[in-house]
Amino acid sequence: MIQHTTAHVRVLAAALAMSCASCGGGGGGPSPPPPPPPASVVVANASASAATVHEGQPFSVDASASTTTNGAPLTFAWTQVSGPAVTIANPNTAKLDLSASEVTADSPAQFRVTVTAGGATAQATANITFSNIAQTPSYGTSQTFATVTVSTPVRKVFGGDLHLGLAGYAANATDPLTFLDFSLSPSSEVQVSASQLGSLPQDAIMRMSSLYIAPAIADQQFTVAEEAADRVRVFTRHSSAAITTRATLTLTDPCGISTTSLSGNALFIGQRAAFSFVLGGTGPIFIDKTVSTGRPFCALVAPGSRLTGFALNLPSPVYPHVIALDAGTNELIVYTPSNLGAAAVYTAQQITPVQLNASKPLTLATWAPIGAVGLGSPSGMALVFTDGAHNGEHRLVIVGFDAARTLVQEPIRSALACPSKSSATTSMATCAIPKSSWSNRHRRRRRSLSHRQAR
């Protein structure tokens, strides 16, 4: 036992000696390890290229100004937090080039970036508003006489000629409009003043109209239809800028205004389930006839001539033939009076789909009567249809009669009736529609129809 214990002690001593030898001797120790690098601090910074961008237009969000305290490389991860959805093709770059979504009303959007460096992260957000823009092309050419800056958004512009222009403005899309009056002075300077026209709802329809010859060339007449109030009012704007009310009429759901000839000039009012003729001359203005249709006719015209401006070469009834659009079905209906007398009864004679030739469903955006120079009655109407997308499908359709009072329509594609998508600063293109661009085609079409009928 003693020997065994001695041997065991010897082994332990040897092990201790070897352990001490490995310590390097001399009582010294190893060098301390280097201190760890300082913790990374990331500061995320995000911004948008503009506070507001029109729908369909390009914009960017940028986090390039983000920093880190230790110089470690930065990585980025973008997400959309809120607002109309935007396609983000590559969310892992410092800067994103994007396109604003199509919207029907101004809509805010927010984007968040997560910036990472050396295990540390930080987040920042960029805010932008997608602005809804009008989808209505403008017709013809224009000339700028003056530019007026208005601090409140202008939401409706209405005018007849150089003697009458009204601009309605309101802070919000639901507020009543207050109007400015624009007119050309005898010295050919544009004069701007607060209009004497009272406030109107923003969905009020305004149209130039003339039920009698005004006593002064600068006197202008216009008609306002207010559907919610079941009211149609006829105003005269005098050369002094004073505005007087000629008549206030009660009509159910008035939604469209045109003019025609009916024993003199007459108003032609479209309604949600009818249309009405309004007469006046120099005497009282009154509702002469209302025709129930059961269809919504807010775009309608009673042509007094062919689309080319020439006479119809047919007997003219007391009450005119009517072309109306049912915007719910996109059908054109021709209503014909049963006789030439005052007791005429209207019946639907021609019902034809609008020739839109589109791959998507289109709805009516706006319309306007059109007419040849020097004729009191319109010769047709221009209808603008859209799918509602800024860069989508749009159609301009010219509608009227040929010499036999047969419905004629000519669709024109979006090249002549389209919004622009050229840059973030361009909201709409002014699409000029020369009369020759459709009148010549009508002449060619009528010739080809005549040849086929002859054969």
Quick: pLDDT tens for 160-206: 666 678 889 998 888 999 998 887 766 667 788 899 999 999 999 99
User: Within 13 A of 211's CA, how many CA atoms are on the CB side?
Assistant: 25
pLDDT of 218 reads 54
For range 62-79, the mean pLDDT: 93
pLDDT of 291 reads 93
Q: Name the CA dihedral angle for 274, 280, 286, 291, rounded to a multiple of 10 degrees.
A: -20
Whether the pLDDT of residue 374 is over 80: the answer is no
Beta strand pairing call for 52-54 and 120-131: parallel
- The residue count for the chain: 455
pLDDT tens, position by position, 241-261: 889 998 999 999 999 998 887
pLDDT of 143 reads 67
The mean of the pLDDT values for the chain is: 78
Whether the pLDDT of residue 44 is over 80: the answer is yes
For range 23-38, the mean pLDDT: 65
Domains and CATH numbers, the chain: 42-131 (2.60.40.10), 207-454 (2.130.10)
Can you tell me the distance from the alpha carbon of 65 to that of 113, in angstroms, rounded to the nearest whole number?
12
Comparing 435 with 128, the larger pLDDT belongs to 128
Whether the pLDDT of residue 370 is over 90: the answer is no
Whether the pLDDT of residue 9 is over 90: the answer is no
For range 84-103, the mean pLDDT: 92
Can you tell me the distance from the alpha carbon of 274 to that of 402, in angstroms, rounded to the nearest whole number?
25
pLDDT band at 417 (very low <50, low <70, confident <90, very high): very low
Phi first, then psi, for residue 449 (nearest 5°) are -65, -40
Residues 300, 256 contacting (CB under 8 angstroms)? yes
Whether the pLDDT of residue 237 is over 70: the answer is yes
pTM (predicted TM-score): 0.63
Rg of the chain taking only CA atoms, in angstroms: 37
Comparing 36 with 221, the larger pLDDT belongs to 221
pLDDT of 254 reads 96
Residues 248, 174 contacting (CB under 8 angstroms)? no
The token pair at 161 is: 């000629």
Contacts of 147 (CB under 8 A, 6+ apart): none
pLDDT of 454 reads 31
Percent above pLDDT 90 for the chain: 39
Q: Which of 71-85, 198-212, 321-335 has the lowest mean pLDDT?
A: 198-212
452 dihedral zone (left: phi>0; alpha: psi -120 to 50; beta): alpha
pLDDT of 312 reads 66
pLDDT of 31 reads 78
Phi first, then psi, for residue 313 (nearest 5°) are 60, 30
Residues 150, 161 contacting (CB under 8 angstroms)? no
Whether the pLDDT of residue 328 is over 90: the answer is yes
Can you tell me the distance from the alpha carbon of 107 to that of 390, in angstroms, rounded to the nearest whole number?
15
Q: Cα–Cα distances in Å, from 206 out to 214, 242, 389?
A: 19, 18, 26
Three-state DSSP string of 71-110 = CCCCEEEEEEEECCCCCCCCCCCCEEEEECCCCCCCEEEE
Q: Cα–Cα distances in Å, from 288 out to 261, 285, 300, 308, 450?
A: 13, 9, 17, 29, 38
Can you tell me the distance from the alpha carbon of 269 to that of 287, in angstroms, rounded to the nearest whole number?
10
Q: Cα–Cα distances in Å, from 60 out to 48, 78, 86, 126, 128?
A: 6, 12, 11, 10, 10
Highest mean pLDDT (candidates 216-220, 275-279, 435-439): 275-279
Q: Which of 22-36, 40-54, 261-275 has the lowest mean pLDDT?
A: 22-36
Can you tell me the distance from the alpha carbon of 354 to that of 410, in angstroms, rounded to the nearest whole number?
9
